[in-house]
C-alpha cells in the first residue's frame, strides 16, 4: 500500500468512528437510564410508580432496606399532560394564526421583521422565560388568583410562548408549499382572498400544521427550567388554574441534587417515563410527516358506518363554518396574532431591559468585580468565565465529531445503507431527547467519571452530546449544497477523496458549518437544566481549571431569581444573557443569509448566461 | 364635485351576459408591453379560440377577462373591457365578476378535498349551505360535465385520486357550479391524453348552448375542430380575428398563414 492509500483508509475509518459515536451515545443514554431505573421500578413496582399519586420520598430508602417513602408520579404525569395541553391551546392557536398571518396577510415590509421577532423568541433561553414569569407574569396574575399566581395558567402561558416559534416555523413552511394553482383556482370561482385562505390554502396544509403542533407538544413535554420557575412544584394534581403542581421534568430538577439511593432511581425512572412520552410524540410526528408526503391518497376507512358518521360530522362543521362566516373570524384572528406576537417579544425584552439596565450600568462590580465570599456584592464574572469554558470545551468535542459524522454520511455512504439508517435514527432520537434527560445521563456518567462531583469538564461533555444533532444536520445540509461537479473536477485532477474533502468540499461548505457553530454557542449559553448538576450551580470564584465546578450565566440567573434577595442583579444578569443570545442569533442569521444570497448570486449569473445564449 | 356616483361596489345586479367587447387594450408587466392595442368582439354562446406562438400573450389576454392579472404585481392595464354592459375594470365587485367568468387552467387543479366539496366550493362561497340544494348543484354540474355516471359513487373520495382527464373535467364542473356566463380555458387539454382531450372537446360543444367559451390552444386541429371564431396572436398583437373557417382556409395576413402552415412558431 502506498502512503496515500493508507491516508485514505485512515481518513475513512476516522469519519466512520465519529459516526459510530452518535449511535454509541444513544445506546449509552438508554442503557444507563435503564440500568439506573430498573431497580427502582422493581422495588416500587411499575404500576405503583406510574399510577400512584403520592410522592413523598425518603432519603434513607435504599434498594435493600424496607421502603418508607411513597413513590408515585401520576400527579406529575397529569401535570405534564395538562401543562402540555395548556401550552398547545395558547401557543398552538397563536402559532397557527401567526403563521397564516405571515404567509397571507402580512404587509411585505413587515414580513422580515416579524420573522426575525419569531426567530428571536426561539433564541431566548428558557431561564429567561422562567424569570420573566417570576418577575412579571406571576405578580400580574396574582391580582386575579387566590395564590401568588403560580400554577397551570402561568405555566401554560409561558410554555405557550416558548413553543410558538416551533409551531410557526413549520406551519409557515407547509403553508408556503401549498401550490399557488389552488389559490388561483379558488379565486377563479369567485371566492375572495380570505375565503380562499381559510377554505383551500389552510386545509391543504393541514397535515404540515398538525406536524408542527406535534413538534410543539414535544417541546412542551421536555421543557424544564421555565416550568420549574412558575408551576409551584408541589406534587399534587393541577386541579385548578392556580394551584401549585409539578411536572415530570421539574421532579427531576427539584430533587436530583440531594436524592437518596432509591429516590435517585425513582427520579431516573421519571426520566424514563418522560422519554417514553417524548419518543411516542416523535413517532407520531414521523407518522404525520410521512402522511404529508403521501397526502394525495385519500384516507378511507373500511367501515361504512364510520365513513358515514364522519361525513355527517364534516358536513355539519362545513355548514356551520360557512354560516357563521368563520373565514372572516380567521382573518381577524390572524391579524391579531401577528400583532400579539410582536407585542410579546417587546414586552419580555423591554420589561427585562428597563428593569435590568440601570443595575448593569450603575454597578460595574456586577460584571467585572472580584468574588468575595460572604459578601453582599454579587459578581457574574465567574459565571461569564464558566460559560466561556463550557462553550469552548463543548465545541471542542462536538464540532469535530459532528462534522466528521456529517462527512461520513454525505461523502462515504449511500442512502439505503443499514448503518446509515442507524446513524440517522440515532441523530433523530438525540435531537428529541429532553435536555433534563441529558442532565441525568451526564450525572450518572461524566460526573461519576470525574470524581463524583460536578465539574466544567463533565458539564461540557454532557452538553456536547446535545449539540451533536444540530451540528451533524446543518453540516450535512451545507455539504449537500456543494455541487457534485466540484468534487468530480477535483477527483478528475487526480486528487484523492481526502484531499477533495479537505481542499474542495469543506471550504465550500464553511459558512453553513459556521452558522451551525454559532447557533451551538447560543445553545450552550442558554441551556441550564442539563448543567445544573453536571457543571455546578453555586456562584463562586472564577474557576481555575476544568475540573472546578461553577455556574454558567443561565444557571446563575436561575439561582439568583430563586433567592429573592438579588432580584436587581437577576434582572441585570438576564439582560446580559439576552444580549449574548440574541447577538449570537443575529450573527448566525446574517451568516446564513450571506450563504443564501451567495448561492442566489450564482444562480443569477447562470440565468444571465443562459439568457444571452438564447 | 356636485354629482356623486354610486360608489357601492356591491351593486349586485350587474348585467353580465356572455358577450365580451374589448377595445384598444394594452398591458404592461413593469416596462414590458405584453399586449398591444387589442380590440375584439367575442360573441355570446360560441367558442372562440386563441392561437399563437409561445409567449405571444394569449394567457395574458385571457387573464384580463376575469382580472386574474390583479394578482400580478406591477401589471398595468389600459383600454376598455366590457362584458355585456359592465366595465369590468370599473367599480365592480371582482368576485362577482369571477363568478360570472369561470376559468379552467392548463394543469388540472382540483382542491385536495372530496369530489363533492370541490364542486360545492363555489356555491358555498356564495352562501348556499343547504344540503339538498348543494346535492342538486353537484349532480347537475357533474351531469353537465358528463361525469355523473363515472363519479356518482365516488363523490366523497379525494379528488386527487382521479385521473388527469377526470380531474380536468371536475375542474370544469367546479367552474360550472356557480353558473357562469363565460368560461375561459387556458390550454385545458395540453396535459391530457387524446381520449380525455376528445371528451373535453365534446363537452365544450355541449356547453356552448348557454355559455361563451374562450379557449387558448397550441393545437391547431383542436382550434379548427371546435371553435367558431379564431384569433391569432403574435408578439402581443392580435394579428387576425375571424371565423375559424376563414382563418384556416383563407387567412388575410401572411403571418397567420405562415403560422398555421407550420412555418414558424
Ligand atoms: N407575471 C409576469 N411578469 C412578467 N412578464 C410576464 C408575466 N407573465 C407573462 N409574462 C410575459 O408576457 C409575455 C406573454 O406571456 P403569456 O403567458 O401571456 O404568453 P402565452 O401566449 O400564454 O404563451 P404560452 O403559449 O407559452 O402559454 C411573455 O413574454 C411572458 O414572458
Ligand atoms: Mg399561456
pLDDT at residue number A304: 62
pLDDT at residue number A503: 82
By C-alpha distance, which of B97, B33, B36 is closest to B67? B97
Which positions in chain B touch A207 (Cβ < 8 Å)?
A: none
CB-based contact (8 Å) between A241 and chain B? no
**3-state DSSP helix/strand/coil % of chain B, to nearest 5:** 35, 25, 40
pLDDT at residue number B264: 57
Judged by DSSP in three states, B40 sits in strand
Q: Sign of the C-alpha dihedral, residues B40, B46, B51, B54?
A: positive
| Residue matched to cell numbers 346535492 | B135
CB-based contact (8 Å) between A173 and chain B? no
| Residue nearest ligand 1's atom 3 by CA | B29
Specify the ligand 1 atom closest to the Cα of B218: 25
pLDDT at residue number A607: 39
For the segment A257-265, the average pLDDT, to the nearest whole number, is 87
Helix (H) / strand (E) containing A304: helix A304-323
pLDDT at residue number A299: 47
For residue A58, give every residue at least 6 positions away whose Cβ sits within 8 Å of its Cβ, in sequence order, or none: A67, A68, A69, A260, A262, A263
Q: What is the mean pLDDT of chain A?
A: 85
Higher pLDDT: B10 or A255? It is A255
pLDDT at residue number B184: 94
Question: pLDDT tens for residues A550-583?
Answer: 889 999 899 888 776 788 888 888 999 999 988 8
Structural contact between residues B100 and B181, judged by C-beta atoms closer than 8 angstroms = yes
ipTM (interface pTM): 0.87
Q: Could you tell me the CA-to-CA distances from A217 to A90, A158, A272 in Å, in that order?
A: 12, 14, 18
pLDDT at residue number A256: 86
CATH number listed for the domain at residues A80-293+317-356:
1.10.3720.10
pLDDT at residue number B10: 46
Structural contact between residues A117 and A157, judged by C-beta atoms closer than 8 angstroms = no
pLDDT at residue number A242: 93
pLDDT band at A291 (very low <50, low <70, confident <90, very high): low
CA angle B206, B210, B216 (to 5 degrees): 65
Given a cut of 50, whether residue A591 has pLDDT beyond it is yes
Q: How far is the CA of B32 from the centre of ligand 2 (A)?
A: 16
Q: Which ligand lies nearest the alpha carbon of B232?
A: 1
Which positions in chain A touch B127 (Cβ < 8 Å)?
A: 322
| Residue matched to cell numbers 358515514 | A308
Residues present in chain A in total: 614
Which positions in chain B touch A315 (Cβ < 8 Å)?
A: 131
d(CA B150, CA B167): 12
Percentage of chain A with pLDDT > 90? Answer: 38
Q: Any alpha helices (H) in B111-226, and if so which ranges? A: 115-125, 131-144, 148-151, 164-176, 194-207, 220-226
Which residues, judged by CB distance below 6 Å to any ligand atom, belong to the binding site of ligand 1?
B 29, 32, 34, 52, 54-60, 72
pLDDT at residue number A160: 95
| Residue matched to cell numbers 375542474 | B171
d(CA A54, CA A63): 19
Q: What is the mean pLDDT of chain B?
A: 88
Given a cut of 60, whether residue B9 has pLDDT beyond it is no
Residue A319 Cα, gap to closest chain B Cα (Å) = 6
Judged by DSSP in three states, B50 sits in strand
- Which among B107, B114, B131 has CB closest to A181? B107
pLDDT at residue number B13: 55
d(CA B216, CA B232): 10
Q: How far is the CA of B204 from the centre of ligand 1 (A)?
A: 25
Given a cut of 80, whether residue A140 has pLDDT beyond it is yes
For the segment A22-42, the average pLDDT, to the nearest whole number, is 90
Judged by DSSP in three states, A504 sits in helix
Judged by DSSP in three states, A397 sits in helix
Do A3-36+366-607 and A80-293+317-356 fold alike per CATH? yes
Q: Strands of A259-380 (E only): list them.
A: none
Strands B101-104 and B182-186: parallel
Classify residue A597 as left (phi > 0), alpha (psi -120 to 50) or beta: alpha
pLDDT band at A287 (very low <50, low <70, confident <90, very high): confident
pLDDT at residue number A604: 41
Which positions in chain A touch B178 (Cβ < 8 Å)?
A: 189-190
Question: pLDDT tens for residues B128-138?
Answer: 888 889 999 99
For the segment B32-42, the average pLDDT, to the nearest whole number, is 94
Given a cut of 90, whether residue B261 has pLDDT beyond it is no
Question: Burial level of A483, CB count in 10 A (0-12/13-18/19+)?
Answer: exposed
Residue B239 Cα, gap to closest chain A Cα (Å) = 25
State the best of A174, A178, A180, A189 to mutate against chain B, taking most chain B CBs within 10 Å.
A189
Q: Which of A419-423, B21-25, B185-189 shows the lowest per-residue confidence on average (mean pLDDT)?
A: A419-423
Q: Find the residue in B nearest to A199 (Cα).
A: B121
Question: pLDDT tens for residues A193-231?
Answer: 999 999 899 999 988 899 899 989 999 999 999 999 999
State the best of B12, B59, B109, B154 to mutate against chain A, taking most chain A CBs within 10 Å.
B109
d(CA A272, CA A249): 11
pLDDT band at A403 (very low <50, low <70, confident <90, very high): very high
pLDDT band at B170 (very low <50, low <70, confident <90, very high): very high
d(CA B228, CA B225): 9
The topology under which CATH files domain B2-260 is Rossmann fold (3.40.50)
Given a cut of 60, whether residue B12 has pLDDT beyond it is no
CB-based contact (8 Å) between A292 and chain B? no
Lookup: cell for A556: 446563575
Lookup: cell for A23: 449511535
Q: Residue ranges per domain, chain B? A: 2-260
Specify the ligand 1 atom closest to the Cα of B60: 18
CB-based contact (8 Å) between A286 and chain B? no
Given a cut of 50, whether residue A181 has pLDDT beyond it is yes
By C-alpha distance, which of B215, B264, B225, B261 is closest to B50? B215
Residues present in chain B in total: 265
Structural contact between residues A159 and A217, judged by C-beta atoms closer than 8 angstroms = no
CA angle A76, A80, A81 (to 5 degrees): 115
pLDDT at residue number B109: 92
- Which among B127, B129, B178 has CB closest to A189? B178
Highest mean pLDDT among A113-117, A415-419, A590-594: A113-117
pLDDT at residue number B8: 41
Question: pLDDT tens for residues A425-441?
Answer: 888 888 889 999 999 99
Count of CA atoms in the C-beta half-sphere (13 A) of A58: 11
pLDDT at residue number A10: 85
| Residue matched to cell numbers 443564501 | A596
d(CA B180, CA B102): 6
pLDDT band at A372 (very low <50, low <70, confident <90, very high): low
pLDDT at residue number A303: 56
Helix (H) / strand (E) containing B183: strand B182-186
| Residue nearest ligand 1's atom 17 by CA | B59
The total of other beta-carbon atoms located within 10 Å of residue A319's CB is 15
Backbone angles phi, psi at B185, to 5 degrees: -125, 120
**Most ligand 1 atoms within 8 A of CB, residue of B26, B28, B31, B55 to mutate:** B55
Percentage of chain B with pLDDT > 70? Answer: 94
- Which among A188, A203, A315 has CB closest to B113? A203
Which positions in chain A touch B100 (Cβ < 8 Å)?
A: 190
Question: Burial level of A279, CB count in 10 A (0-12/13-18/19+)?
Answer: middle
State the best of B12, B73, B112, B186 to mutate against chain A, taking most chain A CBs within 10 Å.
B112
Distant-in-sequence contacts of A290-296, Cβ < 8 A, 24+ apart: A291/A207, A292/A174, A292/A207, A292/A208, A292/A211, A295/A207, A295/B112, A296/B112, A296/B158, A296/B160, A296/B161
Specify the ligand 1 atom closest to the Cα of B63: 18
pLDDT at residue number A426: 85
DSSP code for B71: G
Q: Which of A56-60, A360-364, A369-373, A525-529 shows the lowest per-residue confidence on average (mean pLDDT)?
A: A369-373
Given a cut of 60, whether residue B218 has pLDDT beyond it is yes
By C-alpha distance, which of A562, A393, A595, A384 is closest to A475? A595
By C-alpha distance, which of A64, A69, A539, A447 is closest to A257? A447
Distant-in-sequence contacts of A19-23, Cβ < 8 A, 24+ apart: A19/A404, A19/A405, A19/A408, A19/A409, A19/A419, A19/A423, A20/A423, A21/A401, A21/A405, A22/A401, A22/A405, A22/A423, A22/A426, A22/A427, A22/A430, A22/A468, A22/A472, A23/A422, A23/A423, A23/A426
DSSP code for A106: -
d(CA A75, CA A429): 27
Given a cut of 60, whether residue A606 has pLDDT beyond it is no
**Longest CA–CA separation in chain A, Å:** 87
Percentage of chain A with pLDDT > 70? Answer: 91
pLDDT band at A514 (very low <50, low <70, confident <90, very high): confident
pLDDT band at A269 (very low <50, low <70, confident <90, very high): very high
The B229-234 sheet, strands edge to edge? B101-104, B182-186, B212-216, B47-51, B229-234, B237-243
Which positions in chain B touch A189 (Cβ < 8 Å)?
A: 98-99, 102, 121-122, 125, 174-175, 177-178
Residue B248 Cα, gap to closest chain A Cα (Å) = 31
The structure's pTM equals 0.85
**Most ligand 1 atoms within 8 A of CB, residue of B53, B57, B62 to mutate:** B57
Given a cut of 80, whether residue A363 has pLDDT beyond it is no
For the segment B112-122, the average pLDDT, to the nearest whole number, is 91
Given a cut of 80, whether residue A308 has pLDDT beyond it is no
pLDDT at residue number B7: 37
* Measured torsion, CA atoms of residues B97, B101, B105, B110, in degrees rounded to the nearest 10: 80
Which positions in chain B touch A190 (Cβ < 8 Å)?
A: 95-100, 122, 125-126, 178
Count of CA atoms in the C-beta half-sphere (13 A) of B179: 7
Question: pLDDT tens for residues A405-424?
Answer: 999 888 887 767 788 888 88
Structural contact between residues B213 and B204, judged by C-beta atoms closer than 8 angstroms = yes
pLDDT at residue number B239: 93
Q: Residue ranges per domain, chain A? A: 3-36+366-607, 80-293+317-356
Look at domain A3-36+366-607 and name its CATH class.
mainly alpha
Q: Which ligand lies nearest the alpha carbon of B55?
A: 1
State the best of A177, A183, A185, A295 to mutate against chain B, taking most chain B CBs within 10 Å.
A185
DSSP code for B218: S
Cross-chain residue pair A191–B121, CB shorter than 8 Å: yes
Backbone angles phi, psi at A486, to 5 degrees: -65, -45
Amino acid at each position: 500500500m502506498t502512503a496515500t492509500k493508507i491516508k485514505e483508509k485512515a481518513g475513512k475509518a476516522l469519519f466512520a468512528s465519529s459516526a459510530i459515536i452518535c449511535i454509541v451515545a444513544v445506546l449509552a443514554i438508554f442503557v444507563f437510564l435503564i440500568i439506573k431505573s430498573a431497580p427502582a421500578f422493581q422495588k416500587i413496582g411499575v404500576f405503583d410508580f406510574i399510577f400512584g399519586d403520592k410522592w413523598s420520598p425518603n432519603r434513607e430508602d435504599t434498594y435493600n432496606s424496607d421502603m418508607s417513602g411513597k413513590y408515585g408520579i401520576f400527579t406529575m404525569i397529569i401535570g405534564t399532560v395538562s401543562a402540555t395541553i395548556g401550552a398547545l391551546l395558547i401557543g398552538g392557536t397563536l402559532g397557527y394564526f401567526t403563521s397564516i398571518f405571515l404567509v397571507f396577510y402580512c404587509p411585505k415590509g413587515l414580513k422580515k421583521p416579524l420573522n426575525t421577532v419569531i426567530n428571536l423568541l426561539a433564541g431566548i433561553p428558557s431561564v429567561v422565560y422562567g424569570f420573566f414569569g417570576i418577575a412579571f407574569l406571576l405578580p400580574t396574575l396574582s391580582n386575579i388568583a387566590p395564590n401568588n399566581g403560580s400554577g397551570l395558567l402561568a405555566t401554560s402561558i409561558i410554555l405557550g410562548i416558548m413553543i410558538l416559534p416551533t409551531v410557526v416555523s413549520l406551519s409557515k413552511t407547509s403553508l408556503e408549499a401549498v401550490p399557488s394553482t389552488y389559490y388561483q383556482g379558488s379565486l377563479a370561482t369567485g371566492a375572495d382572498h380570505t375565503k380562499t385562505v381559510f377554505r383551500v390554502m389552510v386545509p391543504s396544509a393541514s397535515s404540515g400544521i398538525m406536524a408542527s403542533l406535534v413538534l410543539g407538544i414535544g417541546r412542551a413535554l421536555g421543557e424544564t427550567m421555565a416550568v420549574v420557575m412558575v408551576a409551584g412544584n408541589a406534587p399534587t394534581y393541577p386541579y385548578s388554574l392556580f394551584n401549585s403542581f409539578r411536572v415530570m421534568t421539574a421532579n427531576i430538577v427539584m430533587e436530583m441534587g440531594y436524592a437518596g439511593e432509591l429516590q435517585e432511581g425513582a427520579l431516573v425512572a421519571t426520566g424514563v417515563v418522560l422519554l417514553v412520552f417524548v419518543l411516542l410524540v416523535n413517532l407520531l410526528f414521523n407518522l404525520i410527516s410521512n402522511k404529508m408526503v403521501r397526502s394525495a391518497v385519500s384516507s378511507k376507512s373500511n367501515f361504512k358506518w364510520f365513513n358515514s358518521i364522519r361525513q355527517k360530522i364534516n358536513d355539519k362543521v362545513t355548514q356551520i363554518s360557512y354560516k357563521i362566516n368563520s373565514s372572516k373570524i380567521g382573518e381577524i384572528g390572524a391579524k391579531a396574532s401577528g400583532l400579539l406576537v410582536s407585542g410579546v417579544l417587546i414586552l419580555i425584552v423591554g420589561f427585562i431591559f428597563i428593569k435590568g439596565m440601570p443595575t448593569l450600568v450603575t454597578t460595574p462590580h456586577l460584571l467585572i468585580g472580584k468574588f468575595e465570599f460572604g459578601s453582599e456584592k454579587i459578581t457574574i464574572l465567574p459565571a461569564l468565565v464558566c460559560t466561556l469554558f463550557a462553550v469552548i470545551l463543548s465545541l471542542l468535542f462536538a464540532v469535530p465529531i459532528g462534522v466528521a459524522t456529517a462527512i461520513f454520511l454525505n461523502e462515504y455512504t449511500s442512502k439505503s445503507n443499514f448503518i446509515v439508517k442507524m446513524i440517522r435514527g440515532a441523530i433523530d432520537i438525540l435531537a428529541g431527547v429532553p435536555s433534563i434527560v441529558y442532565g441525568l445521563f451526564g450525572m450518572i456518567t461524566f460526573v461519576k467519571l470525574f470524581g463524583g462531583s460536578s465539574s466544567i469538564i463533565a458539564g461540557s461533555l454532557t452538553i456536547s452530546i446535545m449539540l451533536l444533532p444540530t451540528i451533524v444536520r446543518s453540516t450535512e445540509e451545507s455539504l449537500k449544497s456543494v455541487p457534485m461537479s466540484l468534487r468530480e473536477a477535483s477527483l478528475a485532477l487526480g486528487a484523492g477523496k481526502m484531499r477533495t474533502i479537505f481542499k474542495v468540499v469543506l471550504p465550500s461548505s464553511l459558512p453553513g458549518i459556521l452558522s451551525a457553530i454559532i447557533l451551538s454557542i447560543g445553545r450552550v449559553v442558554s441551556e441550564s437544566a442539563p448543567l445544573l448538576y453536571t457543571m455546578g450551580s453555586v456562584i463562586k470564584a472564577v474557576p481555575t481549571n476544568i475540573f472546578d465546578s461553577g455556574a454558567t450565566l443561565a444557571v446563575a440567573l436561575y439561582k439568583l431569581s430563586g433567592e429573592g434577595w438579588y432580584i436587581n442583579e437577576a434582572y441585570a444578569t438576564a439582560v446580559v444573557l439576552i444580549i449574548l443570545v440574541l447577538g449570537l442569533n443575529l450573527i448566525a442569521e446574517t451568516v446564513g443569509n450571506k450563504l443564501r444570497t451567495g448561492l442566489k448570486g450564482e444562480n443569477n449569473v447562470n440565468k444571465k448566461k443562459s439568457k444571452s445564449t438564447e | 364635485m356636485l354629482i356623486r356616483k354610486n360608489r357601492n361596489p356591491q351593486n349586485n345586479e350587474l348585467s353580465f351576459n356572455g358577450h365580451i367587447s374589448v377595445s384598444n387594450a394594452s398591458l404592461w408587466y413593469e416596462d414590458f408591453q405584453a399586449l398591444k392595442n387589442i380590440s375584439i368582439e367575442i360573441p355570446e354562446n360560441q367558442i372562440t379560440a386563441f392561437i399563437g406562438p409561445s409567449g405571444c400573450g394569449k394567457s395574458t389576454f385571457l387573464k384580463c377577462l376575469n382580472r386574474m392579472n390583479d394578482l400580478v404585481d406591477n401589471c398595468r392595464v389600459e383600454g376598455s373591457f366590457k362584458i355585456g354592459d359592465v366595465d369590468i375594470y370599473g367599480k365592480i365587485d371582482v368576485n362577482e365578476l369571477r363568478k360570472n367568468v369561470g376559468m379552467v387552467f392548463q394543469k388540472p387543479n382540483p382542491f385536495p378535498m372530496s369530489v363533492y366539496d370541490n364542486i360545492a366550493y363555489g356555491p358555498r362561497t356564495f352562501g348556499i349551505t343547504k344540503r339538498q340544494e348543494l346535492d342538486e348543484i353537484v349532480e347537475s354540474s357533474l351531469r353537465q360535465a358528463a361525469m355523473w355516471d363515472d363519479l356518482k359513487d365516488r363523490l366523497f373520495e379525494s379528488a386527487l385520486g382521479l385521473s388527469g382527464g377526470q380531474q380536468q373535467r371536475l375542474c370544469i364542473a367546479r367552474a360550472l357550479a356557480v353558473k357562469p356566463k363565460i368560461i375561459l380555458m387556458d390550454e385545458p387539454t395540453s396535459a391530457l391524453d387524446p381520449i380525455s382531450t376528445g371528451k373535453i372537446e365534446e363537452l365544450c360543444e355541449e356547453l356552448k348552448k348557454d355559455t361563451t367559451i374562450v379557449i387558448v390552444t397550441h393545437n391547431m386541429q383542436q382550434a379548427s375542430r371546435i371553435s367558431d371564431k379564431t384569433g391569432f396572436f403574435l408578439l402581443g398583437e392580435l394579428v387576425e380575428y375571424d371565423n375559424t373557417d376563414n382563418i384556416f382556409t383563407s387567412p388575410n395576413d401572411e403571418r397567420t398563414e405562415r403560422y398555421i402552415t407550420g412555418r414558424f412558431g
